[in-house]
Amino acid sequence: MDLALFYFLILGFAVFMYVLLDGFDLGIGILYPWFESKSERDHLMRSISHVWDGNETWLVFGGVMLFAAFPAAYAGITSTFYLPIMLMLFALIFRGVAFEYRFKADRSRPYWDLAFSAGSAIAAFCQGILLGSLVQGIPEGSSMIASWHWLTPFTILTGFSVMAGYALMASSYLFMKSRSDIQRRASHLGKNLLICVVLAMLTVSIWTTIASPEIQNRWFENGHFIYLSPLPIISLFLSIGIWKHFTRHQMLSGQSEGKNDSRPFWYSAGLFLTGFIGLVVSLFPYLIPRQLTLWEAAAPDSSLTFLLVGVCLFIPLILAYTLWGYRVFSGKVEDYQEGY
Amino acid sequence: MELDVALLSRIQFAFTVSFHIIFPSITIGLATLIAIWEGLWLKTHNPLYLQLAKFWIKPFAITFGMGVVSGIVLSYEFGTNFSEFSNLVGPILGPLMAYEVLTAFFLEAGFLGVMLFGWQRVSRKMHFFSTITVAIGTWISAFWIIVANSWMQTPTGYKVVEGQYHVASWMEVIFNPSMPYRLTHMLLASMITATFVVAGISAYYLFKRKHVAFAKKGLSMTMWIALALTPLQAYIGDLHGLNVKEHQPIKLAAMEGIWPKQEAEVPLLLFALPNMETEQNDYEIGIPKLGSLILTHTPDGALTGLKSVEPQDRPNVPLVFWSFRVMVGLGFGMIGIAVLALILRKKDRLFENKPFLTLVAAFTPSGVISVLAGWYVVEVGRQPWLVYNLIRTQEVISPLPAERVLFTLIMFVIIYTLLLGVYLYFMRKVIKKGPPSMSTLEQQLIGMKAPGYALAWVKSLKNSEEKA
Cβ-defined contact of A85 to B80 (cutoff 8 Å): yes
| Segment (H or E) for B139 | helix B124-153
Mean pLDDT of A90-104: 91
- Per CB-CB distance under 8 Å, the chain B contacts of A75 are 79, 83-84, 86-87, 90
- How big is chain B by its Cα radius of gyration, in Å? 25
Which of helix, strand or coil describes residue B285? strand
- Tens digit of pLDDT for each residue in A127-171? 999 999 888 877 776 555 667 888 888 999 999 999 999 999 999
- Say what the pLDDT of residue B45 is: 86
As to burial, measured by CB atoms within 10 angstroms (0-12 exposed, 13-18 middle, 19+ buried), residue B12 is buried
| Segment (H or E) for A251 | helix A230-251
- Per CB-CB distance under 8 Å, the chain A contacts of B419 are 93, 97
Distances (CA, A) of B220 to A206, B40, B245: 69, 15, 38
Q: For all residues of chain A together, what is the average pLDDT? A: 88
Please check whether residue B458 touches A, CB under 8 A: yes
Q: Is the CA virtual torsion B452, A103, A20, B83 positive or negative?
A: negative
- Tens digit of pLDDT for each residue in A46-70? 899 889 999 999 999 999 999 999 9
- To test the contact with chain A by mutation, choose from B5, B9, B68, B89 the residue with the greatest count of A C-beta atoms within 10 A, namely B68
pLDDT, greater one: B225 or B434: B225
Closest listed residue to residue B11, CA positions, set B429, B436, B393, B462? B393
Instruction: Quote the CA–CA distance of B400 and B398 in Å, as a whole number.
Output: 5
Interface of A with B in 310-339 (CB under 8 A): 310-311, 314-315, 318, 321-322, 324-325, 328-329, 332, 334-339
Cβ-defined contact of B91 to A145 (cutoff 8 Å): no
Whether a cis peptide bond, with omega within 30° of 0, leads into A285 is: yes
Interface of B with A in 431-450 (CB under 8 A): 444, 447
Instruction: Quote the CA–CA distance of B444 and B451 in Å, as a whole number.
Output: 10
pTM of the model: 0.90
Closest listed residue to residue A180, CA positions, set A117, A245, A261? A261
| Segment (H or E) for B272 | strand B268-275
Q: How far is B391 from chain A (nearest CA, A)?
A: 16
- Say what the pLDDT of residue B282 is: 86
Q: Are B71 and A80 in contact (CB under 8 A)?
A: no
Domains of chain A: 3-328 (1.20.1630.10)
**At A317, is the pLDDT very low, low, confident or very high (cuts 50, 70, 90)?**
very high
Cβ-defined contact of A50 to B113 (cutoff 8 Å): yes
- Say what the pLDDT of residue B340 is: 94
Q: How far is A1 from chain B (nearest CA, A)?
A: 20
- Per CB-CB distance under 8 Å, the chain A contacts of B119 are 338, 340
Instruction: Quote the CA–CA distance of B219 and B195 in Å, as a whole number.
Output: 9
Cβ-defined contact of A303 to B117 (cutoff 8 Å): no
For A147, the closest chain B residue by CA position comes to B401
- Tens digit of pLDDT for each residue in A19-49? 999 999 999 999 999 998 888 998 999 899 8
Nearest beta carbon to residue B411 from set A54, A67, A90: A90
Instruction: Quote the CA–CA distance of B411 and A122 in Å, as a whole number.
Output: 15
Which of helix, strand or coil describes residue A50? coil
Mean pLDDT of B367-393: 92
Please check whether residue A126 touches B, CB under 8 A: no
Closest listed residue to residue A55, CA positions, set A22, A13, A19, A96? A22
Cβ-defined contact of B98 to A67 (cutoff 8 Å): yes
Instruction: Quote the CA–CA distance of A75 and B434 in Å, as a whole number.
Output: 47
- Per CB-CB distance under 8 Å, the chain B contacts of A97 are 65-66, 69, 419, 422
- Per CB-CB distance under 8 Å, the chain A contacts of B84 are 75
Please check whether residue A15 touches B, CB under 8 A: no
Instruction: Quote the CA–CA distance of B226 and B234 in Å, as a whole number.
Output: 12
ipTM, interface predicted TM-score of the complex: 0.90
Please check whether residue B421 touches A, CB under 8 A: no
**Which residues neighbour A253 within 8 Å (Cβ) at sequence distance 6 or greater?**
A184
Q: Which amino acid is present at A42?
A: D
Please check whether residue A130 touches B, CB under 8 A: no
Cβ-defined contact of B106 to A54 (cutoff 8 Å): yes
- Per CB-CB distance under 8 Å, the chain A contacts of B430 are 104
Instruction: Quote the CA–CA distance of A9 and B216 in Å, as a whole number.
Output: 55
For A108, the closest chain B residue by CA position comes to B422
Mean pLDDT of A227-237: 89
Instruction: Quote the CA–CA distance of A174 and A320 in Å, as a whole number.
Output: 23
Cβ-defined contact of A67 to B94 (cutoff 8 Å): yes
Q: How far is B101 from chain A (nearest CA, A)?
A: 6
